[in-house]
Structures are given as structure tokens and as C-alpha cells.
Amino acid sequence: MNAPPANATGDVFGVGTGSATGDATATAGNAPERAYLVGVQRRGQEPAETAALLAELRELVENTGALVAGAEIARLREPSPAHLVGAGKVAEIAEAARAAGASLIVFDDELTAAQQRNWERDTALRVIDRREVILDIFAARAETREAVLQVGLARLEHQLPRLKRLWSHLDRQRGGGSTQRAEGEKQIELDQRLIRERIAKTRRELDAVIRHRGTQRKQRRRVPVPSAAIVGYTNAGKSSLLNALTGAGVFAADKLFATLDPTTRRLELPRGRALLLTDTVGFVRRLPHQLVEAFKATLEEALNVDFLVHVVDLSSPEHEAHWRVTREVLAEIGAAGKPALTVFNKVDLCAGTGEVAAARAAVPGAVFISAKTGAGFDTLLAALEHYAAAGNRAATLLIPHDRHDFLGVLHAAGAVLNEKHTDAGVRVEAMLPPRLDAAARAFEG
């Protein structure tokens, strides 16, 4: 079988899936990839929104280790089926990219497989969109078996309709003809079968991992400790917050998608109640649908908790859009109805900007903190205690000496406020979570 071109694996910036380095940098001795970015302003879209999306695309591309050689915004009245933009604009963008020394054009807007093929055929440059950049970052950052499988599945599903683009060089070599079957066509059929087989195999392996995670989740739920998932836009400071609260030691860095894998840690709240906190993968605007689907298993952590901790980077000029995007993704996975505590992070970077006052007025009940300095943590812990106790019922119980197992369950749940040992048993004043309410009624009276 002929070998596919260098990027046939979907590896846009030359890094293999699951790289332990965390960054898609150029290989030793080679210059970094030079990319030319194209934002698309559609009819009715505000220029500021287009500029913000293009700035975010720049950050995404730079997170791969590539160099941004230039950028522009293409204003679009009606999308072209062939190239998204008009033929004249195609020539302008290609000329600007070459003048900037770029070998890669990156669109912020989504390109169809046919549009991508047409661009590469007509410009002799590699052309990708935001989805492929995000897939590449995820592939470089995936470390656990589950994350590697999830990213691999997303990349295979993205690659399948683009095989014709990857093998177009064979058609050019042979020339082809109406009565002659091109080598590229035969190779595409073989590769389609192989990719479908790999997709099926990956799904089977991922299903096994998901079942194992479900077993772990059920084991955690046997101990009636309230739980919360930390959610938010990528780079909002979710992992930093988990580390600051629990000493989890989760990798945290000032870059997009620094961590992909959920981590659960136990937090002891001030009044003795325990809380299980889970860090989750960050969201981003225009997150590829394949990744939303692939990471639903991970994001299910946000569905199986008592409440959400929605972290927002208040120092970002786009924090309102980030808040909205997170809510939209949560709605997509079915978590929109969960109680949510909004936590505005990085207030240490907002001194004198008026953002704190504006956010306080816009989101009553929100908490304002700095995961870096610890500012606002007393208020945050009190808010977490309040959310963790939501729905709890005050009760006085007399637990016989031969039922110390249930007393242990109460302690594990952080429900015991006071206890006194008597001849008849242990008298306990407790705040009962809903999951313990029915079992505790046998000891009341």
C-alpha cells in the first residue's frame, strides 16, 4: 500500500497523538510552521466579535508552537460553496500568505471537506480551520487512556470525509481518465475501510473505559458526600482553583486546554462537611462537534453532581462571551438545570477596571476570588458550604451501639454537627442530605 502524505493522520503541526510534551512544537532542527490566519465576518456579525474570535484563533495556533505570520478579516456577504469566500478573495488571501512566508492558512470559520480540497488545489498551500487546530491541541495534551481514545475518535471522524484531499496527489501523478480508475480512488476506498474499522475499535475501547468510570462513580455515590463539578471556559483557572482548595497537584498553566482529564478531590469545608470537587475539560467557542461528542463521557461528571462551580476569568475582555459559551455547552450535554455557583476568578488582575462592580450587578450571588492569591476564599468556602447543604434537613438521631456503621456514614458525609455517647447509643445532631434522609428516619424519635 502506498504511504499517505505526512499529515494524513490529521496531525496538523507535526506532533503525534498523545504527545507527552503538551505542546505541538516543531521537530528538532526544523523551523516552526508559519501560519496565516483568516477571520470571517458574516453578515450581521459585529466587527468586535470577529476580531475577538480571530485573537482567540491566534492564541490557539500559538499554543501548537506555530508562528503566526499574518492575519486578516474577510467580510462575507454570502458564503461561496466552493471556497467559502469569493474567487477574488481566494487569490488575495493566497498572495498575502505567500508574502508573509506562510505555508499554512488557518480559517476561523468552518470549512467543508470540499472547500478545504478546493483551497489546497487552487493555492498549493495547506489550508485548515479552527476545528483542526483544536483537535491537534487536544491530541498533544491527552495523557490518560480515556482522553487519548476520545481525541483519537474525534480525529478519525474528522478525517474520514477528508480522505480525498489527503490522496489527491496520486490523481495528479497519474493524470487519470474517464475509463481508468485512479490509484487515489482505490487507495481512498482502502483507507475508508481501515478508518471505519479503527473508529469501531476505538469506540469499543472507549465504551469499556466509560463503563469503568461509571463503576468508579457509583462507588463514590455510595458514600453520600455532596459533589460539585468545576466548569468553565478554557484557561479560566479551574485547575488552579482545585489545586488551591485541595492541594490536588493537577497540572495548571496559562495556556488553553492545559488539562483534559477530570480529577476528583475531597474538600473539607469549614463546618466539617466534606465535598467532592471534580475538575473538567475547558470549553471554547466553536468547539468541534466531534470533541463535544467524544468528551461527553468526561463531561458526564457535570451531570452526576449536586451542583456546578462555574469559573469565569473576569480579567478577560471576553468574559461575558465565555460565560455564555459555557452555559450553551452545558445545555448541549443536558446540565443546564443544575444549580450553579458563579465564581469570578483573577480579580487580582482587575484592580481599578470597574469589572468587579459590573459583574456583581450582573450576576447576584456570584463570588469573586483569585485562585493565585487566595483572595475571596473565605466567601467561596461559605458559598460552597451553602450549596452543599441545599436540601438538607436538621435531625436528632439516637444510633444504637451496634449501628456504628451508620454513624460512620454520617461522618463520611460531613453531616454530624454534634454527638453525645449515652447508655442507649450515640445521640447525634445532624444535617441530613437527601440521600440519607430515608435511612436516618429509623433512628429518629
Distance CA 373, CA 6 (A): 46
Compute the C-alpha angle 203/208/209, nearest 5°: 95
Distance CA 358, CA 373 (A): 22
For range 422-442, the mean pLDDT: 86
Task: Give the model's pLDDT for residue 301.
Answer: 60
Task: State percent of the chain over pLDDT 90.
Answer: 39
Question: What's the residue count for the chain?
Answer: 445
CA 314, 290, 122, 62: dihedral to nearest 10 degrees? 30
DSSP secondary structure letter of residue 80: B
Task: Give the model's pLDDT for residue 272.
Answer: 74
Residue type, 103: S
Task: Give the model's pLDDT for residue 247.
Answer: 83
Given the C-alpha cell 473505559, which residue does it identify?
209
Task: Give the model's pLDDT for residue 181.
Answer: 47
Q: What is the pTM of this model?
A: 0.70
List the grid coordinates of 325: 459559551
Distances (CA, A) of 94 to 99, 132, 168, 169: 9, 19, 20, 20
List the grid coordinates of 211: 463503563
**Residues 72 and 96: beta-carbon distance below 8 Å:** yes
Q: How confident is the model at residue 124 (pLDDT cuts 50, 70, 90)?
A: very high
DSSP secondary structure letter of residue 33: P
Buried b (16+ CB within 10 A) or exposed e, 330-365: bebeebeebebbbbbbbbbebeeeebbeebeeeeee
Give pLDDT tens digits for 313-338.
999 988 999 999 889 888 877 788 88
Give pLDDT tens digits for 195-210.
889 989 988 988 888 7
Q: How confident is the model at residue 101 (pLDDT cuts 50, 70, 90)?
A: very high
Most trustworthy range by pLDDT among 85-99, 266-280, 399-413 = 85-99
Mean pLDDT of the chain: 81
Task: Give the model's pLDDT for residue 25.
Answer: 41
For range 217-234, the mean pLDDT: 76
For residue 16, pLDDT beyond 60: no
Which stretch of 184-198, 244-258, 407-421 has the lowest confidence by average pLDDT? 244-258
Can you give the C-alpha Rg of the chain in angstroms? 26
User: Across-strand partners of 263?
Assistant: 279
Same fold, 34-195 and 223-388: yes
Q: How confident is the model at residue 190 (pLDDT cuts 50, 70, 90)?
A: confident
For residue 7, pLDDT beyond 50: no
For range 404-425, the mean pLDDT: 85
How many Cβ atoms are within 10 Å of 140's Cβ, its own excluded? 25
Q: How far is CA 419 from the centre of its chain?
A: 44
For range 400-405, the mean pLDDT: 89
Q: How confident is the model at residue 32 (pLDDT cuts 50, 70, 90)?
A: confident
Give pLDDT tens digits for 363-393.
999 999 999 999 999 999 999 998 988 877 8
Distances (CA, A) of 363 to 336, 358, 367, 426, 429: 17, 9, 9, 44, 35
For range 2-26, the mean pLDDT: 38
For residue 29, pLDDT beyond 80: no
Task: Give the model's pLDDT for residue 134.
Answer: 87
Q: What ranges do the domains of the chain cover?
A: 34-195, 223-388, 393-443
**Residues 127 and 121: beta-carbon distance below 8 Å:** no
User: Across-strand partners of 418?
Assistant: 429
**How is the chain split among helix, strand and coil, in percent rounded to 5?**
45, 20, 35
Distance CA 152, CA 330 (A): 23
For residue 444, pLDDT beyond 80: yes
User: Across-strand partners of 307?
Assistant: 228
User: Across-strand partners of 264?
Assistant: 278
Give pLDDT tens digits for 128-155.
999 889 888 888 777 678 778 888 888 8
Q: How confident is the model at residue 178 (pLDDT cuts 50, 70, 90)?
A: very low
Given the C-alpha cell 493566497, which residue does it identify?
94
Q: How confident is the model at residue 19 (pLDDT cuts 50, 70, 90)?
A: very low
Distance CA 239, CA 23 (A): 18
CATH no. for 223-388: 3.40.50.300
Topology classification of domain 34-195: Rossmann fold (3.40.50)
For range 43-55, the mean pLDDT: 91
